A and B are shown apart, each in its own frame.
Chain A
């Protein structure tokens, strides 16, 4: 088996959950060195990337018979950590509802506008509703689908999340560069990619 070709929506947390391994075991395996160098962030893989999945190790634990023994399965958890902004100002203390796999969680963002929730590693879609009263902001989230910053999809995805959604990528880049006070080129140059990564958080 051992090489898995990454598909859209795959990421280390859902893959390792699927194969019953810890993400560190997979990511730090010597056979994944090339991938580690290519994608510095284990959370952001790209379709077509090849990930080596090592075999599971067998653990032997001698225990006497006729007794009860307790084993704890190490769970694999994935996290959703989001920073909510309104025109680049933190949305502090706003209430939200998060629906993942039919489970509804609710909470309030912290003083910097962050929300943090544990989610099942296999979840692929979530809906986040923010605000109270009769009008809500809606975010339909595609979990684990963030692409690397050096791909067009990676640039577009981050821009859309930052509120620069446009059918025309160059116009979206122009608008973003203008908002950030960067030279307006309409191209995702290095300075723009670095700022985008820093602003987006990943």
Chain B
């Protein structure tokens, strides 16, 4: 850890009435869920996940998820926070979280559907400029993920993006 990290505050001399403020930015709720039909019903949150949130180079949140699998990540307006999942103290997964209404593409585009399917854990391959499968093309893997998603949600699995499918994608992944 570099010496430039952390929050700067004044050390106040004895007579001073001054104070320093530490404010938490707004919370962005992130849910970690098991695959839709496991074990069953709504008890799908992954508990006992160790995590930390890093902002401006410093650890700002530290903890372990409860039974709902929820982490309220504090994300600075105009900035971003990094959510890291830990196992035995080592970082095993990392998510960059930004507040940006335009960060997710519209749900009626292939791109927007791919982004949401990927967030929900469906395997959509490694095509596209970022190598994350988000390329805006209706590939075989995209259609298979869509079928899986529809089946998991109890929708008609036909790989056709119906209004029910987009509504369900938005409800599950946001945006």
Binding site for B on A (CB under 8 A): 11-14, 23-24, 41-44, 76-88, 91, 114, 119, 121, 123, 125, 128-129, 133-147, 157, 160-168, 171-172, 174-176, 178-179, 199-202
B8 and A142 contacting across the interface, CB-CB below 8 Å = yes
Interface size class of B (residues with CB under 8 A): 35 or more
> Whole-angstrom distance from the CB of B65 to the nearest CB of chain A?
8
B20 and A200 contacting across the interface, CB-CB below 8 Å = yes
Residues of A within 8 A of B59 (CB): 138, 140
A141 and B7 contacting across the interface, CB-CB below 8 Å = yes
Residues of A within 8 A of B90 (CB): none
B22 and A136 contacting across the interface, CB-CB below 8 Å = no
A137 and B13 contacting across the interface, CB-CB below 8 Å = no
B61 and A172 contacting across the interface, CB-CB below 8 Å = no
Q: What are 17 pairs between A and B in contact, CB < 8 Å? A: A44-B10, A77-B14, A79-B11, A83-B20, A138-B52, A143-B9, A146-B9, A157-B7, A160-B8, A161-B7, A161-B8, A162-B23, A163-B23, A163-B25, A165-B76, A179-B77, A200-B20
Q: State in angstroms the CA–CA spacing of A201 and B12 once bound together.
A: 12
Q: Residue A80 contacts which of B8, B12, B58, B64 (CB distance < 8 angstroms)?
A: B12
Known A135-B63, A166-B78: A43·B24 in contact at CB below 8 Å: no
Residues of A within 8 A of B6 (CB): 125, 139-142
Known A79-B16, A136-B62, A136-B63: A43·B76 in contact at CB below 8 Å: no
Question: Among the interface residues A44, A81, A165, A172, which one has the most CB atoms of the partner chain B within 10 A?
Answer: A165
B13 and A13 contacting across the interface, CB-CB below 8 Å = yes
Residue B117 is within 8 A (CB to CB) of chain A in the complex? no
A202 and B10 contacting across the interface, CB-CB below 8 Å = yes
B7 and A140 contacting across the interface, CB-CB below 8 Å = yes
Q: State in angstroms the CA–CA spacing of A114 and B63 once bound together.
A: 24
Q: State in angstroms the CA–CA spacing of A144 and B6 once bound together.
A: 12
B18 and A81 contacting across the interface, CB-CB below 8 Å = yes
Q: State in angstroms the CA–CA spacing of A162 and B25 once bound together.
A: 8
Which chain A residue has the least Cβ–Cβ distance from B78? A175
